[in-house]
C-alpha cells in the first residue's frame, strides 16, 4: 500500500509525461516561501540583484578554460518496496546524463541550432557519488529508507535522512511529489535555490519516474529533469520566469524579467513537447528565436541539449562563494565525501517478495527478491520459517507454504568487506483454505482482538487506529486519522481477517458498515473510501464500493475542520450485496477499507457486519440475545447475561491489552437464558467476549474498588 506534507519550497520542472502535462510550481513556490518565511523576500530580492549584476559581465572575457569542479552527490531513495525503489543502475545512468549535460559531452549537441552554438558551453562542473557518509563510513552514494512519506511526503522526507548540505548535494527520490501542479498536472521534482540555504531543507526532491533514462524513468525526459533541477540548485531561473508578470516579455531578458541571463532570449511562455522554430518575443536586439533547447525551459528532455555561457557565469558565481555552493566543491568536501577514492562496501541486507503481497493462501508459493544494497552480494543465505525449501542461496527463490500461520524470513548477505543480516518476523501470512472465522462476521472494534486480527496502516500520525469513545454507540471504532497536514493522495488501508461464507452458500450475503465523515472546507472533493474484497488471499481485489467525501461518504453536512462524531445520528449505514461480486460461496473472504487523503478530515468506521441481513453487529447481539454485563461498573463480581440462546457459549475475559485472563464455557437453561458469574480481583477496564455459532460479540466492563 501507499501513503505519506508540508510544502515549504518548490521549483518544479514541467514537461509531458504519459500524455499528461507536468506543470511548474514556480509562482506558488515564491508565494509559499514568502508567506512562511518573511525573510525570504529580502533574500530573494538580493538574489535578483546578484543575478542582474552577473548578467552584465562580459561572459566571453570571463570564460577562459578553468579547472573543473566536482560536486559530491548522495541519492536518498525513500520507498515502500514499490517501483520508486529504483535500481543502482538507474541512478548511475542519471549520473552519466548529469555529467554529459554539464560538460557538454551529450550526443545530441549536434541538435543545437547554429544561431546558439557559439554560446552553448561546457560548464566545467562534474558530479560524483559519495563513497563516505557523514560519519566517514563506507557508502556507494545511495541510501534506502522505507517510509510511507514516499507518497507525497515532499519536505517531510528530508527529516528522515539528510546529509550535510555544505558537502553533499542531497537528492531525495520518491514515489510521487505531493505538491499540486497547475490544472491538475504532475510535478516531477523541485529544488532549493542557493540563497537562504537550510540544513534541514536544502537539496532536490524528484519523482522516481524522472530519474535517468532506464528502469522506471519516462523516456521523453531522457534524464534531463535532474539536469534542470540542478540548474536551479546552482542559481538558474526559468527563461520564462516572469512571463505572467510581464505578458509583453518585459523590457529586457537580463535586467527586469526572465532568467536575468543575457544570452537566453526572452520568451513569452514555457515550451512543451519538442517545439519547432518559435519566436514569442521580439524585444531583444538582435532578435533571436526562443531557445527551446535550453535545459531550463520545459521542452521534453530528448529535445533539450545546452546551457549558455551566461548561465555558466551564474553557476560559477554561486560555486565561488562559500556562503552559497562554494563549500560543496572545496577540497575538504571532496576528502570528507570520498569522491576521489574507491571505497567498496559490505552489502546491507534487505528483501521483499516480487509481488509485494506478503499474504498468500495455504499450499501456495511465493517468490522472494534480494534487494540488498550499498555493496555487491557475493554470497547469501535465506532461511524460511515454515517454508519449503527452508533455506536457499538463490537471489530470487520460490518458496511453498503448506501450513497456515505467520512466518519469519531471514537473509544474510556477504562480500569481502563483511556481511549483514536482516530478519522480518511474521513477514509471510498464510491463510487457511477455509477460514477459522465464519459469517455472521461481526466487528464492533470493542474487543482488543481487533488490534491483532485487522491489519492497519498507520504511520504514527496518520492512518488507521482503534480509538475509544469514537464509535456509533460511544465505544470503540476504527478511525483513519487525517488532518490538513496529511499528504494529499496518501493512502491507508484497513484489512480484515479472512472469513468463511459457507453458511450463506448460494444465498446473498450482505456487507454492512457504518461510516462517519464531514468535509473540512469548500473547493475540495474530500477524502475517498474504497471498499475491496478478495477471495484469493489478497492477490487480486475487486472494488465493492467507492465513496467520495463530498457526495456519498459524508454523513454530516457543512464544513467542519477537525470534525468527530458525537451522536448516533452522525453515522451513515452502508450496505453491499456480496453476491453481485461473486463472493457468495467464498470460504476465505478478505475485506479492505482504503482511504485516500485530501488533507481534510478523519473517517470513522464501526459495526462491520456480514450476514443475510443489513443489521449492525451491536444491534444483532443486543436485540437477538440481549447480551449484557450486570452490574457495570462492578466492584469485581458481575454476571454475563444472555437470552434467546440455544447453544453452548464460549466466554473469554481479556485485559486492556487483549491478553486472556479467563476462558470458560456456559450452557443455556431450558428457556434459552445464561447467567454466568465472573470474579475479577483488580480494578481496571476489561473486555468480555462471547462466541457461538451464531454470535460473536464483545462488551467492556469497568471494575473499581
Residues acting as catalytic residues: 229
Q: How far is CA 557 from the centre of its chain?
A: 30
Report residue 701 as a C-alpha cell. 466492563
Which one, of 306, 307, 268, lies nearest residue 284 by Cα? 268
d(CA 76, CA 86): 11
Q: Which distant-in-sequence residues (6+ apart) come within 8 Å of 670 by Cβ?
A: none
Any idea what DSSP says for residue 180?
Answer: P
Cα distance between residue 95 and residue 127, in whole Å: 7
SS3 assignment, position 95 = helix
For the CA atoms of 267, 273, 278, 282, the dihedral, rounded to the nearest 10 degrees, stands at: -10
State the pairing for strand pair 359-361/418-431. parallel
128: Cα within 13 Å, side-chain hemisphere: 19
Mark out the alpha helices in 356-432 (DSSP H runs): none
Tallying the residues shown for the chain, one arrives at: 705
Report which DSSP code applies to 562.
T
Please, how many CA atoms are within 13 Å of residue 307, restricted to the half-sphere of its CB?
A: 33
Nearest to 641 by CA among 681, 679, 690, 703: 690
Taking the CA atoms of the chain, what radius of gyration do you get in angstroms? 31
- Grid coordinates of 362: 495455504
> Burial of 174 by CB count in 10 Å (0-12 exposed, 13-18 middle, 19+ buried)?
buried
Upstream peptide bond of 299 is cis (omega within 30 degrees of 0): no
- Cα separation, 206 vs 177, in Å, equals 7
User: Cα–Cα distance between 542 and 410 in angstroms, integer?
Assistant: 33
List the alpha helices (DSSP H) in 403-496: 450-453
Identify the DSSP state of 550: I
Q: Take residue 580 and report the three cell numbers written for it.
A: 453481485
Nearest-angstrom CA–CA distance, 91 and 109: 23
Amino acid at each position: 500500500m501507499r501513503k505519506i506534507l508540508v510544502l515549504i519550497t518548490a521549483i518544479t520542472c514541467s514537461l509531458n509525461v504519459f500524455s499528461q502535462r507536468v506543470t511548474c510550481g514556480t509562482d506558488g513556490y515564491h508565494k509559499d516561501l514568502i508567506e512562511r518565511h518573511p525573510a525570504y523576500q529580502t533574500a530573494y530580492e538580493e538574489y535578483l540583484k546578484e543575478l542582474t549584476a552577473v548578467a552584465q559581465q562580459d561572459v566571453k572575457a570571463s570564460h577562459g578554460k578553468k579547472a573543473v569542479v566536482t560536486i559530491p552527490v548522495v541519492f536518498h531513495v525513500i520507498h515502500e518496496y514499490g517501483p520508486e525503489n529504483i535500481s543502482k543502475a538507474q541512478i548511475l545512468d542519471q549520473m552519466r546524463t548529469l555529467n554529459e549535460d554539464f560538460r557538454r559531452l551529450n550526443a545530441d549537441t549536434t541538435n543545437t541550432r547554429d544561431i546558439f552554438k557559439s554560446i552553448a558551453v561546457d560548464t566545467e562542473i562534474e558530479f560524483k557519488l559519495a563513497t563516505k557518509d557523514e560519519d566517514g563510513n563506507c557508502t556507494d552514494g545511495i541510501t534506502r529508507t522505507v517510509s510511507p512519506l514516499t507518497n507525497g511526503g515532499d519536505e517531510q522526507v528530508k527529516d528522515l535522512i539528510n546529509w550535510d548540505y555544505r558537502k553533499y548535494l542531497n537528492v531525495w527520490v520518491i514515489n510521487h511529489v505531493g505538491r499540486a501542479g497547475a490544472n491538475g498536472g504532475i510535478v516531477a521534482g523541485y529544488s532549493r535555490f542557493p540563497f537562504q540555504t537550510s540544513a534541514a531543507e536544502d537539496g532536490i526532491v524528484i519523482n522516481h519516474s524522472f530519474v535517468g533514462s532506464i528502469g522506471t524513468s519516462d523516456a521523453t525526459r531522457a534524464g534531463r529533469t535532474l539536469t534542470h533541477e540542478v540548474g536551479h540548485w546552482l542559481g538558474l531561473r526559468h527563461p520564462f520566469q516572469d512571463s505572467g508578470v510581464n505578458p509583453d516579455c518585459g523590457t529586457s531578458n537580463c535586467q527586469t524579467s526572465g532568467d536575468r541571463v543575457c544570452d537566453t532570449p526572452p520568451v513569452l511562455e514555457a515550451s512543451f513537447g519538442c517545439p519547432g522554430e518559435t519566436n514569442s518575443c521580439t524585444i531583444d536586439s538582435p532578435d533571436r528565436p526562443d531557445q527551446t533547447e535550453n535545459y531550463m525551459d520545459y521542452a521534453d528532455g530528448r529535445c533539450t541539449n545546452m546551457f549558455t555561457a551566461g548561465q555558466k557565469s551564474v553557476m560559477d558565481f554561486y560555486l565561488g562563494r562559500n556562503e552559497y555552493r562554494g563549500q560543496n566543491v572545496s577540497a575538504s568536501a571532496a576528502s570528507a565525501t570520498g569522491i576521489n577514492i574507491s571505497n567498496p562496501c559490505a552489502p546491507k541486507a534487505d528483501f521483499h517478495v516480487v509481488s509485494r503481497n506478503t499474504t498468500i493462501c495455504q499450499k501456495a508459493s511465493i517468490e522472494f527478491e534480494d534487494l540488498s544494497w550499498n555493496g555487491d552480494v557475493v554470497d547469501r543465505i535465506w532461511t524460511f520459517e515454515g517454508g519449503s525449501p527452508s533455506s536457499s542461496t538463490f537471489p530470487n527463490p520460490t518458496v511453498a507454504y503448506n501450513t497456515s500461520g505467520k512466518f519469519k524470513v531471514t537473509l544474510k548477505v556477504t562480500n569481502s568487506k563483511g556481511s549483514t543480516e536482516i530478519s522480518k518476523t511474521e513477514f509471510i501470512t498464510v491463510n487457511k483454505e477455509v477460514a477459522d472465522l465464519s459469517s455472521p462476521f461481526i466487528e464492533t472494534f470493542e474487543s482488543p482482538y481487533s488490534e491483532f486480527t485487522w491489519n492497519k496502516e498507520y504511520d504514527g500520525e496518520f492512518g488507521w487506529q482503534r480509538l475509544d469513545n469514537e464509535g456509533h454507540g460511544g465505544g470503540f471504532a476504527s478511525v483513519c486519522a487525517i488532518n490538513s497536514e496529511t499528504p494529499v493522495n496518501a493512502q491507508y488501508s484497513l484489512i480484515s481477517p479472512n472469513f468463511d461464507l459457507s453458511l450463506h452458500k448460494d444465498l446473498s450475503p450482505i456487507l454492512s458498515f457504518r461510516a462517519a465523515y464531514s468535509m473540512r472546507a469548500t473547493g475540495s472533493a474530500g477524502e475517498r473510501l474504497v471498499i475491496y474484497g478478495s477471495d484469493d488471499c489478497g492477490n487480486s481485489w475487486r472494488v465493492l464500493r467507492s465513496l467520495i467525501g463530498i457526495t456519498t461518504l459524508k454523513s454530516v453536512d457543512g464544513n467542519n475542520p477537525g470534525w468527530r462524531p458525537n451522536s448516533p445520528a452522525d453515522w451513515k449505514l452502508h450496505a453491499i450485496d456480496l453476491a453481485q461480486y461473486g463472493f457468495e460461496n467464498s470460504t476465505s473472504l478478505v475485506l479492505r477499507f482504503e482511504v485516500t487523503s485530501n488533507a481534510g478530515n478523519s473517517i470513522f468506521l464501526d459495526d462491520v457486519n456480514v450476514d443475510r441481513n443489513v443489521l449492525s453487529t451491536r444491534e444483532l447481539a443486543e436485540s437477538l440475545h440481549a447480551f449484557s454485563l450486570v452490574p457495570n461498573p462492578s466492584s469485581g463480581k458481575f454476571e454475563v447475561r444472555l437470552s434467546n440462546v440455544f447453544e453452548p457459549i464460549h466466554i473469554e475475559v481479556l485485559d486492556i491489552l487483549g491478553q486472556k485472563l479467563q476462558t470458560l464455557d456456559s450452557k443455556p437453561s431450558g428457556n434459552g437464558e445464561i447467567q454466568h458469574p465472573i470474579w475479577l480481583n483488580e480494578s481496571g477496564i476489561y473486555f468480555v467476549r462471547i462466541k457461538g455459532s451464531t454470535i460473536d460479540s464483545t462488551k467492556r466492563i469497568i471494575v473499581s474498588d
